[in-house]
Amino acid sequence: MSELRQRMIDEMTLRGFSPRTHESYLATVKDLARYYKQRPDQLNMEQVRQYLLYLERERHLSWSSLNTAVSGLRFFYFDTLKWQPVKLDIPPRTTPRRLPEVLSREEVDRLISKVPNLKHRTLLMTIYAAGLRVSEAIALRVHDIDSARMTIRVVQGKGRKDRYTILSPRLLENLRQYWRQYHPKQYLFEGSQPQCHIHESVPQKTYKLAKQQAGIHKGIGVHTLRHCFATHLLEAGVDLRTIQTLLGHNAISTTMLYLQVRQQHIASHPEKFDLLAIPSKPADL
C-alpha cells in the first residue's frame, strides 16, 4: 500500500467514515491518477477541474456520482494533503427527484414466494418487514432479534446511528424456522465463513431473479422493499413520525416523500376512496 493511500485511509478512519465512503473516495483518487498517468499529489487544481469536466461531458456521470467524486477529491487534497482550499465545484444543476416505485403487498408476497432458498427468502422478508437498508440487514447479529419486545435492533446504521424497528409475528416465525435449519452463531445471515456476514450482492441478485420469476417489471433494486415497507405502513394508517423513526431518517421531509407515493396509490385505485359510492338507503315506503 502506498504512503499516500495509507494517509488518506488514516484521515478517513479518524473521521469515522463508513467503509463505503472509504471505497468510493479511494476509487475516485485512483481513477484520477490513472487518467493522467501521474501521482495525484503531482497534479494541480486546473487538472483536477478538467478531470471533473471530463467525467461530466464525456463519461456522463450522474449528478450524484459527480458530487461524490468532487467530495472525494476535495477530501484528498484539502484534508489529506492539507493543500490550501480552493473552489472545486462545477456549476450545479437541478436534479429531478423521482418518486420510488412501490410494489403492492400482493406483489411483495408473490416475489418473496419465488425464492426457493430459505436463507435468501428470509433475508428479503427481513428487509421488507423491518424496512431495512441492505447494509443493515446483512449486518444483523443473532442477538439483535428481540422476540420478547418484538423489535429488531439496528446497530450503527446510516449516519452511525443505532435504532429499533419492528419485528412482525410472521417474520419471527420465519426467522425461527430459518434458525432451526442454519443455526447462525454470530451474524444472522452468515456468509461462506461463519465470522463474516453474507455479501451485499446476494440480496440484490436474489431480488432481481425473484422479480423476473414473479413477472414483476417495476422496482429496480432490492431497496424497493424498504420503500414498500414505508408506503404500506402509511397506507395502513401509521403516522409519519413513527415511520421516520423506524426508517432512521434524520429529517421528516425525507419520510414525507412517501405521501406522494401514497397519492399515486390513491390515483390508481380511485374506487377504493370514492366515499360517495355508498349504496343509497332505500326510500321509506
The Cα–Cα gap between 248 and 158 comes to 8
Instruction: Reply yes or no on whether 183 is catalytic.
Output: no
The catalytic residue among 120, 197, 226, 227 is: 226
The catalytic residue among 121, 163, 211, 249 is: 249
Q: Which residues contact 83 (CB under 8 A, 6 or more apart)?
A: 77
User: Among candidates 107, 105, 136, which has minimal Cα distance to 123?
Assistant: 136
The catalytic residue among 5, 7, 114, 158 is: 158
Instruction: Reply yes or no on whether 133 is catalytic.
Output: yes
The answer to whether residues 77 and 87 touch, using CB atoms and an 8 Å cutoff, is no
Instruction: Reply yes or no on whether 153 is catalytic.
Output: no
Instruction: Reply yes or no on whether 272 is catalytic.
Output: no
The catalytic residue among 77, 187, 207, 258 is: 258
Instruction: Reply yes or no on whether 217 is catalytic.
Output: no
Instruction: Reply yes or no on whether 223 is catalytic.
Output: yes
Provide the grid cell at 116.
426457493
The answer to whether residues 25 and 40 touch, using CB atoms and an 8 Å cutoff, is no
The catalytic residue among 133, 163, 197, 227 is: 133
Question: Percentages helix, strand, coil for the chain, rounded to the nearest 5?
Answer: 55, 5, 35
Question: How many angstroms separate the Cα of 12 from the Cα of each of 20, 21, 34, 39, 42?
Answer: 11, 8, 22, 20, 21
State residue 256 phi and psi, 5-degree precision. -65, -15
Its sign, for the CA torsion 24, 26, 29, 32, is negative
**At CB < 8 A and 24+ separation, what contacts does 50-54 make?**
52/88, 52/90, 53/90
Catalytic machinery residues:
133, 158, 223, 226, 249, 258
